[in-house]
Structure 1
C-alpha cells in the first residue's frame, strides 16, 4: 500500500475559504439543480475561485453518484456526480470532498460544479 502525498497550503500554494454573500443558482436542462445564499468561495493558488454549495441547497434527486474519483494533496479524496438530464456534457459535473483535509475542513458537506458541464451558474451579488 502506498501512502498519498499530503501537502499543507502555504506561500507557494495558498488556499483560502471564505463565506460568499452572493446568491448562486446552478441550472441544467431548464431545472435548478442548486440554489443558495450560503456558498463558500475557495481560492487556490492561480486557479479560478470555486463556489462550494451546501449539500442542503442541492437537489440530489437530479444527481447520480459516479465511480469517478480524484485526489488532491491539499484537499483529499474527491468523489463525483453526474447530472443525467444534462446528457454527456454533464458527466462528472459535480464534485465533493466527503472528508477534506483539515486545512479546508469548511468545504465538508459542500459540492462544486464545473461551469462548462452545466447550462448556467448565475451569481447575483447581495443587495
Structure 2
C-alpha cells in the first residue's frame, strides 16, 4: 500500500502524501531561479506552486520575471483535467535549444485562473533550477514537472514502480 511507504516528514519538511487531490494552487515568496546555457532566464519571488498528492511542487513563474526573448511558442499542447489545456515553449539560448521545455495555461480553469500565462519549466533540461538557493532535483521519471528539494519528502510519483499508485 502506498501510504505504508510514506516517508514521515521531519520538522520543516512537507510530505507529498499530505498534498490534496485535486491539486491546490498557492502563492510562494520562495526565491526561484532558472539557469539555461549559462543565462538566468527566470528569477522571481512571486511564483505560484501547484501541490498534488504524490508529486513534488511544480513552480509557475510570472512572465514579467522571465526573459521571454529566449522562449518561442510551439505547436505542442496537452490537457490537464484540473488546469485545462497547456501550451508549450521551446527555450533557446545561444546554440543550445530544448523543445517543449516550459509550459503554461493560457485559459486555465477557474480554480487556477491566477496562474494564467505563468510558465513552469522541466528541471531535467535546465542547467539548474533553484528554490531559495538550493539546487532542485527533477521529479523522477522526467514525465512530470515537479522539483524536489530537501524540504519535500516522498516517495514521488514517477519513480520506478510508482505508475500503479
Whether TM-score is above 0.5 comes out as yes
Counterpart CA distance in 1 for 2:82 and 2:88 is 18
1:87 aligns with 2:102: no
Contact 2:42 2:65 in 1 (8 A): yes
Q: Which residue of 2 aligns with 1:19?
A: 27
Q: Which residue of 2 aligns with 1:116?
A: 124
1:55 aligns with 2:75: no
Deviations 1:67-105 (A, max 9, x none): 1000111110100001123735x2111000001001211
**Which segments of structure 1 move beyond 3 Å, counting only runs of 4 or more?**
none
Relative to structure 2, which stretch is displaced further, 15-24 or 79-88?
Answer: 79-88
Question: What is the Cα-based RMSD across aligned positions, in Å?
Answer: 1.9
Counterpart CA distance in 1 for 2:34 and 2:130 is 6
Counterpart CA distance in 2 for 1:82 and 1:65 is 6
Contact 1:91 1:117 in 2 (8 A): no
Any idea what SS the aligned residue of 2:29 has? Answer: coil
**Cα drift, residue 109 of structure 1:** 2.8
Counterpart CA distance in 2 for 1:15 and 1:104 is 10
Contact 1:15 1:42 in 2 (8 A): yes
Q: Which residue of 1 aligns with 2:82?
A: 74
Counterpart CA distance in 1 for 2:74 and 2:106 is 14
TM normalised by structure 1 equals 0.82
Counterpart CA distance in 1 for 2:130 and 2:124 is 13
Larger Rg: 2
Counterpart CA distance in 2 for 1:64 and 1:18 is 27
Q: What stretches of structure 1 of length at least 5 have no aligned partner?
A: 1-10
TM normalised by structure 2 equals 0.64
Deviations 1:37-74 (A, max 9, x none): 00011102222211110111011101111110001111
